[in-house]
Amino acid sequence: MAAPHVTDDVPHDECGVFGIFAPGEEVSKLVYLGLFALQHRGQESTGMAVSNGYRTMVFKDMGLVSQVFNESALNSLTGYLAIGHDRYSTTGSSEWSNAQPTYRELPGDGRRKGGLSLAHNGNLTNTNELSAWLEERTGEQLLKYEMDSTNDTQLVTALLASYGNDIDAGLAEVLPRLAGAFSLVLMTEKKLWAARDRHGVRPLVLGKFGDGWVLASETCALDIIGAQFVREIAPGEIIRVDEDGIHSSTFAKPEPKGCIFEYVYLARPDSVIADRQVQMVRERIGRQLAIEHPVDADMVMATPASGVPGAIGYAKQSGIEYGTGLVKNAYIGRTFIQPTQTMRQLGIKMKLNPIPEAIKGKRLVIVDDSIVRGNTQRAIIKMLRQAGAKEVHVRISSPPVTWPCYYGIDFSTREELIAPDKTTEQIAREIGADTLGYVSLDGMAECVDLPKSQLCAACFSGNYPIQIPSHAPRACGD
């Protein structure tokens, strides 16, 4: 687990994945566009593996999609079959060796049998058991501190590659033994696969592109290349795409536990998950927030950009005017400047700046998607008061985050979080708000409009529906 970024006080999903099989097309630029659409899911590194049917080329590096790939690089990646990956570290450190896709030569009898490339979104919780199984199968010791990639993706790649060219058999045996969350895309020189864990924690969708097929973490990546959405990959399903078309099989009975935080923050608002338009879900949560936590105020505003849908919903329900009080620098990206004390102080102002004329003398309701550590909200409220705000009332489109996530979001200890040992009133005082209100878990789930039994809300409730590491803390009564 990477350490939190000092100027980055928002939750991050681990990754975005993309795959395409499109004979007759040069797909590298399509992968580029797909990864660009999924950039919100990971900004530390990016990469792609591309095959022309005979050999695979892998290109990956640290940075944003637009920083890593240029016209020359894309033109050199020729082929009709590819997978791509955007990464934000949840396991493994932030360094080049952990960039994906991973790649392994497949074993052969004195001759090359090709290679396996793999990209993973999620987080596994039984890597010790899997490492022991790999050693039992192959004699290889692939321990965390010895891996050329210190993440669980390398371990899955090694296990599947041990089956040689019979990747279908490998998937049938390996996937049922993976605990935790995973949405995978993988490929050899001639075939493309995708798989989703039996709980469907992380999204994964299938699209049609001409005579070819596309796989992606979110529907927004289909939209950007003009692919037609077909359906979601079902929990426990394996998809294989080859020259004979598309094939589906299952490795486990579905037990849906989709991450509720995808609807609140992680997914792009123009994506669709489980037939729910994310933007509309977030607006409904904003309306619910206004019902549960009304306040007399002059203007509703958002923490841009993730708080905007909730703020719109709050304004519609409350009848309070919606306005813009903060402007976001659209070009901020991720910074690699060393985190000196000066940079810590300026980190928020690099991203957001208040509009004094819109704020001065007003009682404000500011809507955000979540509070993780409280640093961002504290800095924003200070800026708003310095700009002349009379009152600042904070409303949050999710319940208090009180438990760590083991399924692919980057808070791993309770010590990282502001809410576990504080009341709402104490948190309000700590961040400098006049009042603070969180939407209830029941209210949020009602807005998603899925049975609570089909959602994972462990970071709010502490009730983990899937195996977690043996050393991990549990909620009382678990």
The CA angle 250-256-259, to the nearest 5 degrees, is: 125
Residue 48, strand partner residues: 59, 84
Beta carbons of 212 and 268 less than 8 angstroms apart = no
Q: Examine the residue annotation and report whether 476 is marked as an active-site residue of this protein.
A: no
The CA angle 193-406-192, to the nearest 5 degrees, is: 5
Sign of CA dihedral 163, 167, 173, 177: positive
Annotate 420-432 with b (16+ C-beta within 10 A) or e (fewer): bebebeebbeebb
Beta carbons of 327 and 355 less than 8 angstroms apart = yes
Residues whose CB is less than 8 angstroms from the CB of residue 158 and which lie 6 or more positions away in sequence, other chains included: 104, 134, 138, 140, 142
Is 306 annotated as belonging to a binding site?
yes
Is 8 annotated as belonging to a binding site?
no
Sign of CA dihedral 350, 352, 355, 361: negative
The active-site residue, picked from 15, 220, 447, 476, is 15
Is 459 annotated as belonging to a binding site?
yes
Residue 272, strand partner residues: 277
Is 223 annotated as belonging to a binding site?
no
Is 162 annotated as belonging to a binding site?
no
* Residues placed in the known binding site for Mg(2+): 306, 368-369
Residues marked as catalytic: 15
* Residues placed in the known binding site for [4Fe-4S] cluster: 259, 405, 456, 459
* Residues placed in the known binding site: 259, 306, 368-369, 405, 456, 459
